[in-house]
A and B are shown apart, each in its own frame.
Chain A
Amino acid sequence: MSLIEGMASAVETPRRLARVAMLGNPNTGKTSLFNSLTGLRQRVGNYPGITVEKKTGVMQLGKGEAELIDLPGTYSLAAASPDERVVVDVLTGHVSGTERPEALVCVVDATNLQRNLFLVSQVAELGIPMVLALNLWDSACKQGLNINVELLSERLGVPVVPTIGRTGEGLPQLRAAIVEALEKSARMRRIEWPESAAQAEAKLRSAIPESVRSQLKELELQRLLFDADSAIIERVGWNHEEAREVIEAARKPLWDAGVNPLAAEALFQYAHLKEVLDGVVLSPEEALPRGSESIDGILIHRFWGLLVFVGMMFVVFQAVYAGAGPLMDLVDAAKGWTQDLVGPWFDSMPMLQSLVTDGVIEGVGAFVIFLPQILILFLFIALLEDTGYMARAAFLMDKLFHWCGLNGKSFVPFLSSYACAVPGIMATRTIEDPKARLTTILLAPLMSCSARLPVYVLLIGAFVEPQLGPFWAGVTLFAMHFVGLFVAVILAFVFTRFLIKTKPQPFVLELPAYHAPRMENVLFRMYEAGKEFVQRAGTVILAITIIIWALLYFPRPADLEAQETRAFAAEHAQTAGVSEEEALAALESDEELAAALQARIDGAYVDQSLLGRMGKGLQPIFAPAGFDWKITVGVLASFPAREVIVSTLGIIYSLGGDVDEESGSLRDAMRKETWDDGARAGSTVFNLPVVFAIMVFFALCSQCGSTLAVTAKESNWKWAAFTFVYMTGLAWIGAVLVYQVGMQFL
């Protein structure tokens, strides 16, 4: 019985799956291939003790199934970054909870075989059964490359399968090849090392202390010999001084042969691969990606490229703003309909009715209304990534970042942070220089993440568009997304010169060929972002919403309603010139007066609630930025997660009687809000300087618990505290400046 059939017939518990690992260089379409092989049956976690993402999935193999591990993309096994170290550790079986794979799927870019096979040839030293996936096969065909697959398979000794990850072509053959590799233990032919390398390796093996040698695999011996500073020394607990002496002595045969040991592996491997590929790739002179090159003449041009980049971002944000309107109206209508439907169920329980309608439905609804914007934003992000444009954007930014002490490598974490700072900060692990990495970690939260989008859209839709028109509304949304990047560039200049002194490192980036985006990938990205957003609405946002409702609802003094009714009747008696008894009687009969009284009572309850009192107590801190106590409460409630301000304002205005079926949406209620007292008494709270001050505050402030926790994990709590203090301070200064300067022009 074969291994796969064995797996298929295995009894349910415990089900033993074959372990297959997928590895390859970055930008080889590995992730597309992984997604196509596993579908939605994926699990994302982390490798123990480190913050490198571990992505696994289950794939169908013949009659059975196998676990597929997607290893981080790497160019070689010289483990310089945490990602690369993980690849070596998984392949050698040194990761707790992750057994050594039984087979490998090596994904290579068919348009650049020789360079991609360098990693594969290194991995061949492990002797693990292997399949070679010639991915991006369509690009290779377009470039006129003619690859003799059979000959390549024969020379390497392993199955070779052409694949197109984006469309799923070649997947059945790939699955069959994995089964074949597992059953026949198809191992790739190893390089025949020249005498000098073989001698050096033998010398090293004999000189290493037994306690260390017993922990090392053949491949790791080579890594010690060929790499400048291997992380393996630390893992096996070998004394650094002793290790350096032993390794240097073992390298002598290489020096004697006139070869620098640190360049030896590349020299020998490329010579070997040249022989392997001789006659396999025909018409190599056709290999140039002509289409991509001519487009890149414009897209990575120092002037035109930047112009196209800015123009493209402008179009994206205009589309995000304008395109979501009708869908937002639909969600808003659904929210109102739900409130109307559910409210009467609790007519005999006013407290519970308030919790459900003013708290849960209003709070969560005010948040969910921004789902269309999130979906449209991620549609564009996925399109730009899938076409290969994002790599060009990183290349363009390199010059700017070089000026401020970083390099284009920091752009990728910054770009990820536009979706969410958490994966953005994790993406910094590809930066080898620890100081440049720390600087990037500290600045990534300044990028305008998708949680800021609801805040911007609410304020722009309520105040900027009605006053300045739809064009300037789009411009404002576009500009708000660059405020953080602008401040980050200035701060990077300051940090890298005075705080975390570092110099820019050289930046090497592979520009992938352009592809037509694959709709499945784009939709999957939108689905993931939408799911995440709705999941958040149903969990954290819901919990915070309920707590904020309680803080705004309690206490409920028994005599407050009577007091307010008497005060209202007295005021009405004075203005109408009637007796108080007549005014009280009018409240019973006049619906308009009764509604005004109810709004006053609701407002009075919110005013003296726990959160109301807290907001009024702390409002003086934000008074220089023009914030009233309600905005102050929104700001304070948003420190765990910034998007909570939308729900909080929804509840404040709903409980205060400002948002109902008569008065319309939260936007209308905010437009009508006026100052009760002070220098601006009677004037509207939300004028343009206040609106821009709030947006700048949210653009710069550290209001995300998850981001701070990840910052601490990737650096330490001292730097997380520093991030919180500098961002919050900067946000307050920015908001005050915008408001004070803006008021000069009103």
Chain B
Amino acid sequence: MSALQWIEVAVVALIVGGAVSYLVAYVRDVIRFGSSSSGPGCGGGGGCPSCGPDKDGNSN
């Protein structure tokens, strides 16, 4: 493979990998809070960007 093809494969892998990790984080947020900060509504309880820190002071 030429250098250009290696670069192409790397960029595509980076984009697809980024999409997968975003989606995993989104699903985790949905299960934990009822929605992601980018989705509608919120299950509450603190610890997410919309609710602020939870009762133990954790914030992600």
A→B interface (CB under 8 Å): 43-52, 96-97, 348-349, 351-352, 355, 420, 422-423, 426, 532, 535-536, 539-540, 542-544, 546-547, 550, 640, 705-706, 709-710, 712-713
A420 & B41 in contact (Cβ 8 Å cutoff)? yes
Could you tell me the distance between the alpha carbons of A619 and B19 in the complex, rounded to whole angstroms? 27
B44 & A705 in contact (Cβ 8 Å cutoff)? no
Known: A348-B4, A355-B15. Contact between A423 and B55, CB under 8 A? no
Q: List 20 A-B contacts (CB under 8 A).
A: A43-B50, A44-B42, A45-B42, A45-B50, A46-B50, A48-B44, A48-B45, A48-B51, A49-B45, A49-B46, A96-B55, A97-B46, A351-B12, A422-B35, A422-B40, A543-B23, A547-B19, A550-B16, A709-B34, A712-B34
Cβ-closest chain B residue relative to A43:
B50
Question: Chain B contacts of A45 at CB under 8 A?
Answer: 42, 44, 50-52
Question: A30 CB to closest chain B CB, in angstroms?
Answer: 20
Q: Which of B6-56 contact A (CB under 8 A)?
A: 7-9, 11-12, 15-16, 19-20, 22-23, 26-27, 30-31, 33-36, 38-46, 50-55
Could you tell me the distance between the alpha carbons of A713 and B26 in the complex, rounded to whole angstroms? 17
Could you tell me the distance between the alpha carbons of A516 and B8 in the complex, rounded to whole angstroms? 58
Could you tell me the distance between the alpha carbons of A630 and B3 in the complex, rounded to whole angstroms? 36
Could you tell me the distance between the alpha carbons of A422 and B35 in the complex, rounded to whole angstroms? 9
Question: Chain A contacts of B44 at CB under 8 A?
Answer: 45-52, 713
B22 & A543 in contact (Cβ 8 Å cutoff)? yes
Q: Can you add 12 more A-B contacts, CB < 8 Å, to A544-B19, A709-B35?
A: A45-B50, A48-B54, A97-B46, A348-B4, A351-B8, A351-B12, A355-B15, A422-B34, A422-B41, A536-B38, A543-B22, A547-B20
Known: A420-B40, A543-B19. Contact between A349 and B4, CB under 8 A? yes
Question: A25 CB to closest chain B CB, in angstroms?
Answer: 24
Interface of A, helix, strand, loop or mixed by DSSP: helix
Contact of A352 among B12, B45, B46, B52 (CB under 8 A): B12
B→A interface (CB under 8 Å): 4-5, 7-9, 11-12, 15-16, 19-20, 22-23, 26-27, 30-31, 33-36, 38-46, 50-55
A705 & B22 in contact (Cβ 8 Å cutoff)? no
B55 & A536 in contact (Cβ 8 Å cutoff)? no
Could you tell me the distance between the alpha carbons of A640 and B22 in the complex, rounded to whole angstroms? 14
Question: A137 CB to closest chain B CB, in angstroms?
Answer: 33
A546 & B15 in contact (Cβ 8 Å cutoff)? yes
Question: Chain A contacts of B45 at CB under 8 A?
Answer: 46, 48-49
Could you tell me the distance between the alpha carbons of A540 and B38 in the complex, rounded to whole angstroms? 8
Could you tell me the distance between the alpha carbons of A196 and B33 in the complex, rounded to whole angstroms? 48
B46 & A706 in contact (Cβ 8 Å cutoff)? no
A546 & B38 in contact (Cβ 8 Å cutoff)? no
Question: Chain A contacts of B40 at CB under 8 A?
Answer: 420, 422-423, 532, 706
Could you tell me the distance between the alpha carbons of A713 and B45 in the complex, rounded to whole angstroms? 10
Known: A47-B44, A49-B44, A547-B20. Contact between A706 and B35, CB under 8 A? yes
Question: A92 CB to closest chain B CB, in angstroms?
Answer: 18
Contact of B46 among A48, A51, A422, A546 (CB under 8 A): A48
Could you tell me the distance between the alpha carbons of A420 and B41 in the complex, rounded to whole angstroms? 9
Question: Chain A contacts of B53 at CB under 8 A?
Answer: 97
Known: A49-B44, A426-B41. Contact between A540 and B26, CB under 8 A? yes
Contact of B30 among A51, A546, A706 (CB under 8 A): A706
A48 & B27 in contact (Cβ 8 Å cutoff)? no
Known: A48-B51, A348-B4. Contact between A709 and B19, CB under 8 A? no
Question: A527 CB to closest chain B CB, in angstroms?
Answer: 15
Question: Chain B contacts of A540 at CB under 8 A?
Answer: 23, 26, 36, 38-39
Contact of B27 among A349, A536, A705, A713 (CB under 8 A): A705
B39 & A536 in contact (Cβ 8 Å cutoff)? yes
Could you tell me the distance between the alpha carbons of A349 and B6 in the complex, rounded to whole angstroms? 10
Question: Chain A contacts of B36 at CB under 8 A?
Answer: 540, 706
Question: Chain B contacts of A48 at CB under 8 A?
Answer: 44-46, 51, 54-55
Could you tell me the distance between the alpha carbons of A352 and B8 in the complex, rounded to whole angstroms? 6
A51 & B43 in contact (Cβ 8 Å cutoff)? yes
B38 & A547 in contact (Cβ 8 Å cutoff)? no
A705 & B30 in contact (Cβ 8 Å cutoff)? yes
Could you tell me the distance between the alpha carbons of A51 and B12 in the complex, rounded to whole angstroms? 40
Could you tell me the distance between the alpha carbons of A543 and B8 in the complex, rounded to whole angstroms? 19
Known: A348-B4, A543-B26. Contact between A709 and B43, CB under 8 A? yes
Q: Which of A44, A640, A713 has the most CB of B within 10 A?
A: A713
Could you tell me the distance between the alpha carbons of A43 and B55 in the complex, rounded to whole angstroms? 19
Known: A50-B44, A420-B40. Contact between A539 and B34, CB under 8 A? no
Contact of B43 among A355, A543, A710 (CB under 8 A): A710
Question: Chain B contacts of A422 at CB under 8 A?
Answer: 34-35, 39-41
Question: B10 CB to closest chain A CB, in angstroms?
Answer: 10
Question: Chain A contacts of B38 at CB under 8 A?
Answer: 535-536, 539-540
Could you tell me the distance between the alpha carbons of A96 and B27 in the complex, rounded to whole angstroms? 27
Question: Chain B contacts of A640 at CB under 8 A?
Answer: 27
B4 & A539 in contact (Cβ 8 Å cutoff)? no
Question: A552 CB to closest chain B CB, in angstroms?
Answer: 12
Question: What 10 pairs between A and B have smallest CB-CB spacing?
Answer: A46-B44, A422-B41, A546-B19, A713-B43, A543-B19, A45-B50, A349-B8, A45-B51, A710-B34, A539-B38
Question: Chain A contacts of B35 at CB under 8 A?
Answer: 422, 706, 709-710
Contact of B41 among A542, A544, A706 (CB under 8 A): A706
Could you tell me the distance between the alpha carbons of A43 and B5 in the complex, rounded to whole angstroms? 46
